[in-house]
């Protein structure tokens, strides 16, 4: 997936095989959705080599969820750009959440899964406390500006300070997103947090207002001046 992935299992009955299954699943996702691999299903779709009736079940699911997200975000989430389809803004969080479901089906309750900053929290950590997640300073990645405590939640951060300009505003496609450097969203699960973080980041500084009006979500935005703006309920996680 071109990014670091971390899996931590706390349950005593957890085994190495459980972690291997998670990483095997991520390999499967990479082979199917990577826009960098010419052999992936999404690349074949972009090359015109597959018809809609030939799409896999997971691909059809991602297309359906992408369209749903586009509608729910007033068009600020759009997987089509310059004639190509790239669902990366949704796939990562969805894959992390699906990996978490694999562990839960095994009866595992306490774990942490992270893929490139998208995190699913389940249960408690090794000390029997809520998991803690740090929000990085986009001006100094070694510095943590806020630490949140989470229990059975998802958290995702969208930004340009690590990967550069990889998110765009579908309504002004040639404009660079420079007002906001990072936007962190806490939601009921990492899939929901990830898709809305991507869309809200594309909105610019008004994106934090969008998160404010989403029931069950909280957000923390850092703009280009270093000013932080957060939603009214964000403090409950500090």
**In this predicted model, what pLDDT tens digit does every residue of 114-169 receive, in sequence order?**
998 899 999 999 999 999 999 999 999 899 999 999 999 999 999 864 554 455 55
Q: What is the mean pLDDT of residues 164-176?
A: 55
- DSSP helix/strand/coil, 143: strand
Domains of the chain: 5-237 (3.10.520.10)
pLDDT of 215 over the 80 cut? yes
Q: In the chain, how long is the greatest CA-to-CA distance?
A: 51
Tens of pLDDT, residue by residue over 2-32, are 788 999 999 999 999 999 999 999 999 999 9
What is the helix (H) or strand (E) element at residue 131, kind and residue range?
Answer: strand 131-137
Q: What is the pLDDT of residue 165?
A: 44
Tens of pLDDT, residue by residue over 25-74, are 999 999 999 999 999 999 999 999 999 999 999 999 999 999 999 999 99
CA distances from 14 to 6, 20, 31, 121, 189 (A): 15, 11, 27, 16, 22
Tens of pLDDT, residue by residue over 93-127, are 999 999 999 999 999 999 999 998 899 999 999 99
Cα–Cα distance for residue pair 37/45, rounded to 1 Å: 12
Q: What is the pLDDT of residue 164?
A: 45
Q: What is the pTM of this model?
A: 0.92
Residue 135, C-beta contacts closer than 8 angstroms, at least 6 positions apart:
144, 145, 146, 147, 148, 157, 182, 184, 220
Q: What is the pLDDT of residue 93?
A: 96
């Amino acid at each position: 997936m071109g990014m670091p992935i971390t899996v931590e299992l706390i349950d005593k009955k957890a085994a190495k095989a459980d972690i291997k299954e998670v990483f095997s699943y991520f390999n499967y996702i990479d082979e199917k959705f990577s826009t960098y691999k010419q052999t992936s299903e999404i690349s074949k779709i972009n090359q015109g080599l597959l018809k809609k009736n030939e799409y896999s079940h997971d691909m059809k699911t991602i297309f359906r969820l992408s369209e749903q997200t586009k509608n729910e975000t007033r068009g600020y989430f759009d997987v089509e750009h310059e004639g190509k389809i790239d669902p990366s803004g949704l796939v990562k969080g969805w894959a992390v959440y699906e990996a978490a479901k694999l562990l839960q089906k095994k009866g595992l309750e306490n774990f942490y899964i992270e893929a490139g900053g998208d995190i699913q929290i389940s249960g408690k950590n090794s000390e029997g406390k809520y998991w803690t997640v740090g929000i990085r300073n986009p001006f100094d990645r070694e510095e943590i500006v806020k630490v949140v405590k989470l229990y059975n939640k998802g958290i995702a951060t969208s930004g340009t300070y690590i990967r550069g300009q990889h998110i765009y505003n579908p309504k002004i496609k040639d404009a660079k997103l420079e007002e906001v450097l990072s936007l962190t969203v806490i939601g009921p699960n990492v899939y929901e947090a990830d898709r809305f973080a991507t869309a809200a980041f594309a909105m610019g500084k008004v994106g934090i207002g969008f998160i404010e009006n989403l029931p069950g979500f909280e957000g923390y935005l850092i703009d280009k001046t270093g000013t932080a703006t957060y939603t009214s309920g964000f403090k409950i996680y500090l």
